[in-house]
Amino acid sequence: MRGITVLRLGHRLHRDFRITTHCALVARALGASAMIIAGDRDDDIIKGIQRVNRAWGGDFQIEYRKEWRALINRWASRADALVILATMYGVNLLDVTKRLRKESAEKEILLIIGSEKMPAEVFHLADLNVAVSNQPHSEVAAVALILEKIFGSRSLKRSFEGRTYEVVPRSSGKQVKGVRDSDLRE
């Protein structure tokens, strides 16, 4: 596995904070190595994810880039990279799962997810347009399902180095190692 970077294209400061944060959390939890936010600059999301890394472990990278076209063009021109656009207009995820698993072992992946209307050129810059369904859906769900299909079930039981907190799985109630009960109420 080479690595997966999620590009959140078109982030809008006044509207997308929560969804972009959820996309980053899901990407981090399910195996992506990084997220790039393109659109309005939002340092609060970046700081929030960095706090999550410190508390819950891992080295997920998150950054802001103003110029997304040059970024996508650089990835698209690399022989060792695959650019995927998550879109309801793409080929069904189930029809390309084997390809994604094979190529993810050989190439770095840039997974593009939108916020506002996707510029038409992105559909042509991507090597592969992938749909989790050909119906309107959430970009959070798209990230989760695409990463699960690439990594398989191992994405659901990842271990994070350097964590301060650790969930103790329970069938009822909740328990977290390394944290006081009062910390859970924040």
Around Cβ 130, how many Cβ atoms within 10 Å? 26
Q: Pull the structure tokens for residue 5.
A: 């970077």
What's the longest Cα–Cα distance across the chain? 51
Residues in contact with 149: Cβ distance below 8 Å, sequence separation at least 6, in sequence order: 93, 94, 97, 100, 101
Asked if 30 and 143 count as a contact pair (C-beta separation under 8 A), the reply is yes
User: How far apart are the C-alpha atoms of 26 and 70, rounded to whole Å?
Assistant: 26
DSSP string, 73-98: HHHHH-TTEEEEEEEEEEEEHHHHHH
Per-residue pLDDT of the chain (186 residues; tens, 9 = 90+): 579 999 999 888 889 999 999 999 999 999 999 999 999 899 999 999 999 999 999 999 999 999 999 999 999 999 999 999 999 999 999 999 999 999 999 999 999 999 888 999 999 999 999 999 989 889 999 999 999 999 988 878 778 888 888 889 999 999 888 855 555 454
pTM: predicted TM-score of the whole model, two decimal places: 0.91
User: How far apart are the C-alpha atoms of 40 and 10, rounded to whole Å?
Assistant: 7
Structural domains in the chain? 4-184 (3.40.1280.10)
